[in-house]
Amino acid sequence: MIATFPTKIEMKDYNKISLLKRIREKEAAGWECVHRISKRCVETVLDNCIDRGLKYKRTYNSRFEYFVAMKKINNTN
């Protein structure tokens, strides 16, 4: 049987406080956390720059991303 609505979601945010607010909203709507809030480092390349004779120098941006996995609670009343 194919579920018409998602039963698992992963929410990501760069700010832990705003992620907690979104988790509370989802819990009020019938979702529960599968595991605790985790963080990982996300590194992106901003651009290539040609400064001081370095042809292949890249500019990187590193930041932490908080994420959590949630699943839908089955309410059978």
Instruction: Please check whether residue 37 lies inside any domain of the structure.
Output: yes
Report pLDDT digits (tens) over 3-17: 566 788 999 999 999
Write down how long the chain is.
77
**Domain that residue 51 falls in:** 8-72
Q: Name residue 8's beta-bridge partners.
A: 71
pLDDT of 51 over the 70 cut? no
- Distance set, CA 25 to CA 3, 9, 10, 63 (Å): 22, 14, 14, 25
Instruction: Please check whether residue 1 lies inside any domain of the structure.
Output: no
Instruction: Please check whether residue 59 lies inside any domain of the structure.
Output: yes
Q: Give mean pLDDT, residues 10-28.
A: 93
Over its C-alpha atoms, the chain yields an Rg (Å, rounded) of 19
Report pLDDT digits (tens) over 37-47: 999 998 887 76
Nearest to 72 by CA among 36, 32, 20, 19: 32
In whole angstroms, what is the distance from residue 61 CA to residue 66 CA?
16
Q: Name residue 70's beta-bridge partners.
A: 9, 33
Instruction: Please check whether residue 31 lies inside any domain of the structure.
Output: yes
The structural domain count of the chain equals: 1
